[in-house]
Structure 1
Amino acid sequence: MGEVVVVPRRKLGSQGFEVSAIGLGCMGMSPLHGSPKPTQEMIQVIHTAVDSGITFLDTSDLYGHHTNTIIIGKALEGEVRQKMQVATKFGIKSISGETGMVVCGDPAYVKEACNASLKQLGISCIDLYYVHRIDTKIPIELTVGALKELVEEGKIKYIGLSEASPQTIRRAHAIHPITAVQLEWSLWTRDAEEEVIPTCRQLGIGIVPFSPLGKGFFSTGPKVVENFATNDFRRSLPKFQGENLEHNKIVFERVNEMARKKGCTPSQLALAWLLHQGDDVCPIPGTTKIENLKQNIGSVFVKLTTEDMSELESIAAAVKGDRYSPAVMQDTWKYANTPPLSSA
């Protein structure tokens, strides 16, 4: 018998939502990063996560065009559901098959999307329901108002936002307490530290970093680019291109060198840096491999000193390249303000 791993738990928000200190992002289990993954293997990864102490699963109705939520639903059958907190998202819907997408925060669509996700997941209540992207045409008060009704109906327990600006977070929180804000945060991407994260902390909102390993950069290193499928959206990311990539290779080597000294892997070091940011932070690294899952869990037990944190931040300051292309950046928190309620 191996040693039983006890993953610490953390509270997100001020409404009583408690999860494992690290979660499991499930996006990669569906055909978004290239080829589809075998369903049974993905279920095994999820079950291993549960057995290893992870209680927090993250998905979206966007991933794999609803196939991801169906995989999660199969994995949750039986007693597993009682051990898990399920987070999913809505707000990006298909308008023309698999190619056209539009952000939608219309109150009627909020309820339609929720009912569809409940059915796909095979559950009666979603633990944490996020607005995946902010609809800049509809006041956030209307979107959150519909979510509040879903809470009252018992269909969701807690409300979250993803890629939301500080102004949007405040307006949403005034309608109903927001439990968590999901955002990109890592040694690779730190722009949320200036305004978004302080806003969350002022309001008592939990922080859930996605892509905590820099889109795979800190788990695989620069060679991750060689493994991208032809349709992998990461090919278009500025940090993975040209001179930026050549410069960022040096950043990875510095992180790798520090990890060797700490007796851990670069991915564990990158996750540990996030975990040391505060007890209100729960990163959700994604993986489709059990060995990587176990490695990610090991990051919970990596101890960093104040000096270690400063050194890592100094290294991270040298990262070059924007998060996304200019067109995609329009959907991020920097531009995610909605019209005032009075204009509705």
Structure 2
Amino acid sequence: MNTRTLGLGAMGMSDAYGPTDRSESIATVHAALDAGVTLIDTGDFYGSGHNELLLAEALRGRDRDSYVLSVKFGALRSPDGAMVGVDARPAALKNFLNYSLNRLGVDHIDVYRPARLDPAVPIEDTVGAIKDMIDAGYVRHAGLSEVNAETVRRAHAVTPIADLQIEYSLISRGVEAEVLPTLRELGVGVTAYGVLSRGLLSGHWSPGNAGDHRNMMPRFSGENLSDNMRLVDALRRVADAKGCTVAQLAIAWVAAQGADIVPVIGARTRERLAEALPALALELTADDLAEIEKAVPAGSAKGDRYPTAMMADLGVGN
């Protein structure tokens, strides 16, 4: 079993992508663990706590040392589910952590990270508080999410950063210029989310689902979507020649960018998980990588990866 190169992102099991099936979600977590996937990624704001409670049920009875829990905190939500800000103050962090430990039913979080940079709080204060929680035994490692290279350096100077969680895919390659070189210089790993670009590169996505936040995203709108689907069609031709699916090729491409990169797959069903897993064994040759680059050149995607207001919260662009 391969335990390094794939993580399971649980966000879609609670909200963001339309209706979900609780029993299928739990079965998918079980199937992932049984297949050797050891990293489970969540956030305390996913479903406003729903996701952590779901994972508590899915992980009940499992050896605590058999899986790694990555938890994001700091995003604030109103009762109607709207995102209303970020709070990464040390006192807030400790409060969020307390609730996460209780909802998840565990005595420690393996990797704890602010979901976004809080502009009102120096990153040194936030990761310093995580270090306090590491020293107290409630957290094993500090992580970061969606920050730039300078922020990684500042945080790493306070306490070792285990990994940066950031979007990285064939059509989201903003990390390559400065962030990846900095992470490799410092020995910080990458957990890459959005490797299928929220389903755009999966070959399965179709518009029209109510409650699907992709309906608001520029890459899924109007002419942008038409242009981006042409990229998917070009990638499908490469996948067909390789004898794999578009999703498998996209996952394998991210994994091929370095042994320090772990793709996180947001599979909500056992069927999607079963499709993703063979990507771990897919070997891409130099010729394969050249064909993929030709099909989807860097910077060829149309539209930002988030709506304009949300792009301002990111440390790295497209």
Residue-by-residue CA offset, 1:121-174 (whole Å, 9 max, x unaligned): 000010111111110111110001100000000101011100111111110000
Which TM-score applies when normalising by structure 2? 0.95
Matched, 1:116 2:113: no
**SS across alignment from 2:202:** helix
Tell me the equivalent position of 1:26.
10
CA distance in 2, matches of 1:79, 1:241: 42
Output the amino acid matched with 2:149: P
Contact 1:268 1:298 (C-alpha < 8 Å) held by counterparts: yes
CA distance in 2, matches of 1:274, 1:88: 22
CA distance in 2, matches of 1:302, 1:80: 30
Tell me the equivalent position of 2:185.
202
Residue-by-residue CA offset, 1:80-114 (whole Å, 9 max, x unaligned): 43321111110112355533521111010011111
CA distance in 2, matches of 1:199, 1:208: 15
- Give the one of 275, 281, 303 matched to 1:321: 303
**SS across alignment from 1:218:** coil
Q: Which runs of 4+ in 1 moved over 4 A?
A: none
- Give the one of 302, 309, 312 matched to 1:330: 312
Output the amino acid matched with 1:315: A
Contact 1:225 1:240 (C-alpha < 8 Å) held by counterparts: no
Matched, 1:143 2:126: yes
Tell me the equivalent position of 2:114.
131
- Give the one of 206, 219, 236 matched to 1:225: 206
Residue-by-residue CA offset, 1:171-200 (whole Å, 9 max, x unaligned): 000000000001110012111111111111
Mind listing any 5+ residue stretches in structure 2 that lack a counterpart? Answer: none
- Once the two structures are superposed, the pairs formed by residues 3-82 of structure 1 within 5 Å of their partners are 6-7=1-2, 9=3, 20-35=4-19, 37-82=20-65
Output the amino acid matched with 2:13: M
Output the amino acid matched with 1:240: F
- Cα 1:199–1:130 change in 2 (3 A) is same
Contact 1:238 1:244 (C-alpha < 8 Å) held by counterparts: yes
CA distance in 1, matches of 2:79, 2:68: 32
Output the amino acid matched with 1:189: S
Contact 2:75 2:83 (C-alpha < 8 Å) held by counterparts: no
Contact 1:186 1:211 (C-alpha < 8 Å) held by counterparts: yes
What fraction of aligned residue pairs are identical, expressed as a percent? 38
Matched, 1:273 2:273: no
* RMSD after superposition: 1.5
Which TM-score applies when normalising by structure 1? 0.88
Contact 1:95 1:102 (C-alpha < 8 Å) held by counterparts: no
**SS across alignment from 2:261:** coil
Matched, 1:263 2:243: yes
Tell me the equivalent position of 1:307.
287
CA distance in 2, matches of 1:63, 1:266: 27
Tell me the equivalent position of 1:13.
none
- Give the one of 147, 158, 161 matched to 2:144: 161
Matched, 1:177 2:160: yes
Residue-by-residue CA offset, 1:230-254 (whole Å, 9 max, x unaligned): 3321112111122211111221111
Mind listing any 5+ residue stretches in structure 1 that lack a counterpart? Answer: 1-5, 10-19, 336-344
**SS across alignment from 1:220:** coil
Contact 2:113 2:142 (C-alpha < 8 Å) held by counterparts: yes
- Cα 1:212–1:244 change in 2 (3 A) is same
| Alignment coverage as a number of residue pairs | 315
